[in-house]
Structure 1
Amino acid sequence: MLDLITHSAGHVVAMKAGGMVTGQELQRAIDAIEAAKRSHPLVSLVIIIDDLRWMTLGALLKDVGYGLTQLGDLERYHRAAVVTDQAWLKHVAHLEERLFRAVEIQTFARRDHAAAMAWAAELPRGAHESPEEDGYHGA
């Protein structure tokens, strides 16, 4: 299961994952990320993970394929908050932070999910959430 969660900041795409994630669920998340990228110069992500077991093969292939297409566009991603109590996922997030230095990745315990949401919403000094304020009109 992968569900989108409402966030008050338009540049933040938040989601909750658990159990088995399907390709269709992952596609909804990708569509939300792409919509945010069309509207905002920087995008942040929050993923709350609760008892994630695995992805279907279709979801795994879609995840890897989408990830590879984003390698040339990492400067558009500001922050990624990973909220989980699963130790192995925290290790994966720290590895990704080392691999993708352009994106600030931080892990949070599930009890700190509100702090994760607030952290993801913070923009760098001088950045504006509204694309019209800084002259950004999409790619």
Structure 2
Amino acid sequence: MLDLISHPADHVVALKASGVVTAEELQRAIDAIEAAKRAHPKVSLMAELDDLRLMTLPALMKDIGYGLTQLGNLDHYHRAAVVTDQAWVKQIAQLEDRLFKVVEIGTFAKSDHAAAMAWVGELPKGDHEDPEEDGYHGA
């Protein structure tokens, strides 16, 4: 099952997945990501993965297809937080962090849920701050 969950930051798409994920559930998440991309210059993702077992074959194909369409446009993403106690999921997320340098990927234990929420909600410097407030006054 894959459900969208709320996050206080508008640029964050948060979801919770467990058990078996279907193509219909995955499509709802993709639609939410695309809507966030239309509304914000940078989008962050948060995935709470609790006892995730597998995706149906149609969901897996949809996930791969959508992922491939995103490879050329990763600069629209800022951060991805993966919240899980499953070691294999953490290892995959850490590998993706090394492969996709444009997107910061952080892994968090379920007990660090609040830290993950705060971290993924931070916007990149410059997307929400006035440079004058940081002491920068131009060259």
Same fold (TM over 0.5): yes
2:78 is paired with a residue whose SS is strand
Alignment match, 2:3: 3
TM-score (norm 1): 0.91
Within 5 Å, give how 1:1-139 maps onto structure 2: 1-128=1-128
Sequence identity percentage:
73
- Tell me how far 1:128 sits from its aligned partner: 2.2
Unmatched segments (≥5 aa) in structure 2? 130-139
Larger radius of gyration: 2
Alignment match, 2:135: none
| Distance (Å, rounded) in 2 between the aligned partners of 1:71 and 1:13 | 18
2:41 is paired with a residue whose SS is coil
The structure 1 segments of at least 4 consecutive aligned residues displaced by more than 3 Å after TM superposition are none
Unmatched segments (≥5 aa) in structure 1? 130-139
| Number of residue pairs matched by the alignment | 129
| Distance (Å, rounded) in 1 between the aligned partners of 2:62 and 2:125 | 34
| Distance (Å, rounded) in 2 between the aligned partners of 1:14 and 1:36 | 11
Alignment match, 1:137: none
| Distance (Å, rounded) in 2 between the aligned partners of 1:114 and 1:16 | 15
TM-score (norm 2): 0.91
The letter for the 1-side match of 2:46 is V
| Distance (Å, rounded) in 1 between the aligned partners of 2:128 and 2:29 | 23
The letter for the 1-side match of 2:70 is Q
